[in-house]
A and B are shown apart, each in its own frame.
Chain A
Amino acid sequence: MSTLSEAVGPAEPKDAPPRGLWRQGLIVFCENRLALVGLCLFVLLAGVCFLGPLVYQTDQVHTDLTAVHLAPGEQGHPLGTDGVGYDQLGRLMLGGQTSIIVGLAAGILATIVGTLLGAIAGFVGGWVDAAVMRVVDAMMSIPSLFLFMLLAAIVTPSVPMLILIIGAFAWLGPARLVRGEALTLRSREYVQAMRGMGGTGGRAVRRHIIPNAIGTVIVNATFQVADAILYVAYLSFLGLGVPPPAANWGGMLSDGLADTYSGHWWLLYPPGIAIILIVLAFNFIGDGLRDAFEVRLRRR
């Protein structure tokens, strides 16, 4: 980034025409190769899961006990079949839909709830802040998987229920983050300058705090999504996931565990690798976004 050359007369900037911050951010994001890889991976996986079934149609409702544990390639099943005869590739697509939907929805829900509560705590301050943060402390000291399992044991998990359960307790992280951000931003000199002009608290929030905090929130949201996908996998592994015939990668992976010893590797590795890839993708995207949002603040 160069500095405007300002002479005595009218300035003649020698550099390129001004670019919006979003475009600058986009450029930086694209410069981060891993972030691009992450984005492509996500698009690819999501595309296969959501569009794939249109091209590659399989029956994922009725079991076919005549075609159980077929190895990849046998009888036109590129990835074989599982213990009840579902086509593994088709199942991966279906399971991916659930994993991605639950991950995205829960991550976004957690981010929204957390952002709101954190922002309220940070802006209002005083005892509201103290109360909210103590509750956050308390809930954070309960290991999340214990909490999720407790709730999953109470209600029978369905896809919306899983989203609610994870979303309802994963907001703690974003809440803490946003509160901290709100506290720092509130004391920034540009907010003070605005107050010096006679601006109100509402304007500070609208024009200054939210636009500056939004980057942190979005970056965090991508990590929330990655975590939510893992939580779904854990709940499935622990037997509290979505019951069949619905599928998700975590559930397929834990089902696959049982098949390890019988040599049905195609039931284990594909869902395992799929989970790793999608979690990595969101982590890469998050890192790239962090760079992209930070660069806007970088001075020269």
Chain B
Amino acid sequence: MSESIGPTIRHASSAGSRPLLELRDLDTDIALRRGTVHALDGVSLEVAPGQTLGIVGESGSGKTMTALSIMGLLPSGGRVAGGQILFEGRDLRSLPPDEVRRIRGVRMGMVFQDPLTSLNPTMRIGAQVAEPLRVHERVGRAEARERAVEILRRVGMPRPERIVDSYPHELSGGMRQRVAIAMALVCSPSLLIADEPTTALDVTTQRQILELIDDLREEFGMAVILVTHDLGVIAGRADRVAVMYAGRVVETAATEQLFQAPRHRYTEALMRALPESAIRDSGGHDRLVSIPGLPPDLSGPLTGCRFAARCSFVSDDCRTTDPSLTPGAHQHACLHPVPTPAVAVTGPVPAQVEPAAVPAQVQPAAVQPAAKPATTAPAEVAELPVLSVRNLVKNYPVHGRGLLRRTAGQVSAVADVSFEVRPGETFGLVGESGCGKSTVGRLSVGLERPSAGQIVLDGTDLTDLTGRERRRMHRQVQLMFQDSYAAMNPRMRVDAILAEPLEIQKVGDNSERQARIATLLDQVGLSRRALERYPHEFSGGQLQRIGLARSLALHPRLIVGDEPVSALDVSIQAQVLNLMRDLQHELGLAYIFISHDLSVVDYMADRIGVMYLGKLVEIGPAREVVRAARHPYTQALVDAVPSITPDRAATRDGTTIRGELPSALDPPTGCRFRTRCPRAADICTTEPPLVGGLHQVACHLPLRPEPTGTPTPVQALG
């Protein structure tokens, strides 16, 4: 197919084979209403056949633009302004459009982020999957269908003969992503580009999909470009990694080398900003290393290192000299790189990830808060809990969709959940989408009323109170939203947004309110100038700060954070998590921290509750739940979490759960997890009670007994 070999091949990869794809000094511009964004600036990358290249970066780093430039799928206004895209030696930019289209359809395949919207809703699965065959290979209808069935079977689709005649909306997100992969692979391409293929999926599904891509890569002998914001996803999968920042590749190396000894200060900071790094390095709740500030605006001219403004190692040189990638196998563009560790990089040496000399300088501003006392259970049990939730049940009536409004049944969103939160404690609630964790949060702050059960706040049962009294009580508990932008009236200025809770609860007069607002801004580290601005003028991290400030306005004792950092980039996430922890110490707050991300919850929480399909399946001290899970589901969650720690990344053969989440309309009888549990037995058809001391589990066949020596709690729950 490709006899004409490209002019020259620079930096042949270590394997010595000719690169399948090579980008040379790629520049991509996006024309917007106001000016042009230089999304990519001199990006050079290469991928060898059969190799996986991971491209990692935060939002706006240009990782997705790189993928789209290769595929020629830039959004309107976007164009490749310079450089070469050499695919099998030929520059795609100089080939005629029809030829490029053919290459794109046959030799390359792409999988996109959002499986729910990436398929044509009114076309049958079979037709969509087989379309490249029909178009590029002129395959007949019957044969195309056969090959669609075959490829669907290979991506692990159950009953592919039937699926080909279905429409996308009949499938779950994970299944749709399998369809998307099948579609990309149907012409047996030599390059698969996966752009955040699992970001919209739950962790257990993510794991299945990533493994599938890995298996298929070997089977098809194709190269893979895996684009992601998640360092953990890359760690165990890619052969090489390219780290991007502000439209440039700042570091590229073999995966193992990069994770063990990053050279660029940005890469290093990014890795240290991960909650798992903090836990691994200190074994506890040290502050995260956050990266201050925001990435630069790519529409203006930039001089010097683009990371300089946020780097703790910055020197005057950095602001004036534009560093270029060093030659060699491990390239980086940093004037003050992390020194190469003296210790040979063999074997997993987690502690080496972060050289010893650094910490003192990293966060000069950060006053290390006194280490939180270890969860000394007996002392805390004596204290009255801030919030105590007992046998909470929430069912939603289900109406037939569309125009039919008849009641079709009930969704059991929360089923008999009990837990308590003690003063100053962080209670983590984890589970995958649809497990009911957000509903528990909304019930706790009184946004919804439970179908049954009690919510006891400071000794008062809220379910007994009338509306007005309940509202007053709810000053004690405030909600922090995932998307603070959506949770703020876009037509209100920040001062009005922050004053609103005070006005509603009739706290103080105008000047007192202004003073309170000023204090709040100080507490969350925003300047007074923010007051006169509107929500759309702030970045995600700043909005989260304002959201937190608003939750704090009424001096609550408990803040329920519903995925408060899930929409943020790692470096910004670290800023917000640190702030939340600082405020907790300062104000003695308790948190319910709801998240799908076990590593964040692990870092934040003192105790963790794990939910599955409306049930609390396990609850206990954070360390124990994560490191000595007793419920098979918890274990599966733990195993599925992508990690950058080499030993954890290596062992990925723990508990895997298969299949799909059952409908909450008709949950399985007995243990709700039994339909997907690898250990399920006959006894599981009866409902397991939540039993144990401090580390309770609702499982007939727990993975391990509760560690002996833990005292029985004073009052048994449930």
Interface positions of A (Cβ within 8 A of B): 1-8, 10-13, 18, 21, 188-190, 192-199, 203, 207-208, 211-212, 296-300
Contact across chains for B542 and A21 when beta carbons are under 8 A apart: no
CA gap between A2 and B445 in the complex, in Å:
34
CA gap between A88 and B694 in the complex, in Å:
94
Contact across chains for B504 and A197 when beta carbons are under 8 A apart: yes
CA gap between A136 and B549 in the complex, in Å:
44
* CB of B471 within 8 Å of the partner chain: yes
Contact across chains for A5 and B529 when beta carbons are under 8 A apart: no
15 chain-A/chain-B pairs, Cβ below 8 angstroms:
A3-B539, A7-B292, A8-B293, A10-B527, A13-B529, A18-B532, A189-B487, A192-B487, A193-B488, A195-B447, A196-B445, A198-B474, A199-B500, A296-B490, A300-B536
CA gap between A298 and B526 in the complex, in Å:
22
Partner of B529 from A11, A193, A194 at Cβ < 8 Å = A11
Contact across chains for B447 and A196 when beta carbons are under 8 A apart: yes
CA gap between A195 and B485 in the complex, in Å:
17
Additional A-B contacts beyond A4-B533, A190-B489 (18; CB < 8 A): A3-B538, A3-B539, A6-B526, A8-B365, A11-B527, A18-B529, A18-B532, A18-B537, A190-B488, A192-B487, A193-B487, A193-B550, A194-B500, A196-B446, A198-B472, A199-B500, A211-B491, A212-B489
* CB of B274 within 8 Å of the partner chain: no
Interface of A is mostly: loop
* CB of B158 within 8 Å of the partner chain: no
A18 / chain B contacts, CB cutoff of 8 Å: 529, 532-534, 537
CA gap between A190 and B447 in the complex, in Å:
12
Contact across chains for B530 and A11 when beta carbons are under 8 A apart: yes
A7 / chain B contacts, CB cutoff of 8 Å: 292-293
B294 / chain A contacts, CB cutoff of 8 Å: 3, 5-6
The 10 closest A-B pairs by CB, nearest first: A198-B471, A11-B527, A197-B501, A18-B532, A189-B487, A299-B536, A189-B486, A10-B527, A193-B487, A199-B504
Closest to A295 in B: B536
CA gap between A7 and B572 in the complex, in Å:
11
Interface residues of B in 32-65 (CB under 8 A from A): none
Interface centre among A3, A196, A207, A298 (most CB of B within 10 A): A196
Q: A11-B530, A194-B500, A196-B474 are in contact. Are A188 and B538 (CB under 8 A)?
A: no
Partner of A207 from B479, B487, B489 at Cβ < 8 Å = B489
Contact across chains for A198 and B489 when beta carbons are under 8 A apart: no
Interface residues on B, range: 35 or more
CA gap between A203 and B501 in the complex, in Å:
12
B488 / chain A contacts, CB cutoff of 8 Å: 190, 193
Interface of B is mostly: loop
Instruction: Give the distance to chain B from A24, nearest Cβ to Cβ, in Å.
Output: 9
Render B481-508 as a binary contact track against A, CB cut-off 8 A, 1 for contact: 1010111111110000000110011000
Q: How many A-B residue pairs have CB under 8 A?
A: 112
* CB of B475 within 8 Å of the partner chain: yes
B490 / chain A contacts, CB cutoff of 8 Å: 212, 296-297
Partner of A193 from B297, B446, B481 at Cβ < 8 Å = B481
Render B433-475 as a binary contact track against A, CB cut-off 8 A, 1 for contact: 0000000000001110000000000000000000000011011
Instruction: Give the distance to chain A from B273, nearest Cβ to Cβ, in Å.
Output: 14
Interface positions of B (Cβ within 8 A of A): 292-294, 297, 365, 445-447, 471-472, 474-475, 478-479, 481, 483, 485-492, 500-501, 504-505, 525-527, 529-530, 532-539, 541-542, 550, 554
Partner of B539 from A4, A13, A192, A203 at Cβ < 8 Å = A4
A11 / chain B contacts, CB cutoff of 8 Å: 526-527, 529-530
Interface centre among A1, A5, A6, A297 (most CB of B within 10 A): A6
CA gap between A212 and B486 in the complex, in Å:
13
CA gap between A298 and B490 in the complex, in Å:
9
CA gap between A297 and B534 in the complex, in Å:
10
Contact across chains for A8 and B292 when beta carbons are under 8 A apart: yes
Closest to A194 in B: B500
Closest to B365 in A: A8
CA gap between A102 and B531 in the complex, in Å:
44
Instruction: Give the distance to chain A from B246, nearest Cβ to Cβ, in Å.
Output: 14
CA gap between A195 and B297 in the complex, in Å:
37
Partner of A299 from B472, B485, B487, B492 at Cβ < 8 Å = B485
Instruction: Give the distance to chain A from B5, nearest Cβ to Cβ, in Å.
Output: 45
Instruction: Give the distance to chain B from A65, nearest Cβ to Cβ, in Å.
Output: 60
A212 / chain B contacts, CB cutoff of 8 Å: 489-491
CA gap between A2 and B298 in the complex, in Å:
11
Contact across chains for A6 and B293 when beta carbons are under 8 A apart: yes
B550 / chain A contacts, CB cutoff of 8 Å: 193
Contact across chains for A21 and B491 when beta carbons are under 8 A apart: yes
B529 / chain A contacts, CB cutoff of 8 Å: 4, 11, 13, 18
Contact across chains for B297 and A207 when beta carbons are under 8 A apart: no
B541 / chain A contacts, CB cutoff of 8 Å: 6
Instruction: Give the distance to chain A from B443, nearest Cβ to Cβ, in Å.
Output: 12
Q: A189-B487, A196-B446, A196-B479 are in contact. Are A297 and B500 (CB under 8 A)?
A: no
CA gap between A296 and B491 in the complex, in Å:
7
B481 / chain A contacts, CB cutoff of 8 Å: 189, 193
Instruction: Give the distance to chain B from A289, nearest Cβ to Cβ, in Å.
Output: 15
B538 / chain A contacts, CB cutoff of 8 Å: 3-4
Contact across chains for A2 and B534 when beta carbons are under 8 A apart: no
Instruction: Give the distance to chain B from A3, nearest Cβ to Cβ, in Å.
Output: 5
Instruction: Give the distance to chain B from A174, nearest Cβ to Cβ, in Å.
Output: 20
A207 / chain B contacts, CB cutoff of 8 Å: 489, 492, 500
CA gap between A192 and B293 in the complex, in Å:
30
CA gap between A203 and B492 in the complex, in Å:
14
Q: A4-B530, A6-B293, A13-B529 are in contact. Are A197 and B489 (CB under 8 A)?
A: no
Closest to B445 in A: A196
Instruction: Give the distance to chain A from B166, nearest Cβ to Cβ, in Å.
Output: 31
Contact across chains for B539 and A298 when beta carbons are under 8 A apart: no
Closest to A8 in B: B292
CA gap between A297 and B490 in the complex, in Å:
6
B500 / chain A contacts, CB cutoff of 8 Å: 194, 197, 199, 207
Instruction: Give the distance to chain A from B287, nearest Cβ to Cβ, in Å.
Output: 13
B536 / chain A contacts, CB cutoff of 8 Å: 1, 296-300
B533 / chain A contacts, CB cutoff of 8 Å: 4, 18
B534 / chain A contacts, CB cutoff of 8 Å: 18, 21, 296
A190 / chain B contacts, CB cutoff of 8 Å: 486-489
A1 / chain B contacts, CB cutoff of 8 Å: 536-537
B535 / chain A contacts, CB cutoff of 8 Å: 299
Closest to A2 in B: B297
B530 / chain A contacts, CB cutoff of 8 Å: 4, 11
Contact across chains for A194 and B537 when beta carbons are under 8 A apart: no
CA gap between A197 and B294 in the complex, in Å:
31
Instruction: Give the distance to chain A from B76, nearest Cβ to Cβ, in Å.
Output: 17
CA gap between A13 and B533 in the complex, in Å:
11
Interface centre among B297, B365, B483, B491 (most CB of A within 10 A): B491
Closest to A197 in B: B501
Contact across chains for A189 and B525 when beta carbons are under 8 A apart: no
Contact across chains for A4 and B501 when beta carbons are under 8 A apart: no
Contact across chains for A194 and B293 when beta carbons are under 8 A apart: no
CA gap between A195 and B538 in the complex, in Å:
24
CA gap between A194 and B445 in the complex, in Å:
12
Instruction: Give the distance to chain B from A103, nearest Cβ to Cβ, in Å.
Output: 29
B447 / chain A contacts, CB cutoff of 8 Å: 192, 195-196
Q: A11-B529, A21-B491, A296-B490 are in contact. Are A198 and B478 (CB under 8 A)?
A: no
CA gap between A190 and B550 in the complex, in Å:
12
Contact across chains for B293 and A5 when beta carbons are under 8 A apart: yes
Instruction: Give the distance to chain A from B642, nearest Cβ to Cβ, in Å.
Output: 29
Closest to B292 in A: A8
A298 / chain B contacts, CB cutoff of 8 Å: 536
Contact across chains for B554 and A197 when beta carbons are under 8 A apart: yes
CA gap between A194 and B550 in the complex, in Å:
10
CA gap between A130 and B551 in the complex, in Å:
37
CA gap between A214 and B222 in the complex, in Å:
56
Closest to A198 in B: B471
A12 / chain B contacts, CB cutoff of 8 Å: 527
A199 / chain B contacts, CB cutoff of 8 Å: 500, 504
Closest to B299 in A: A2
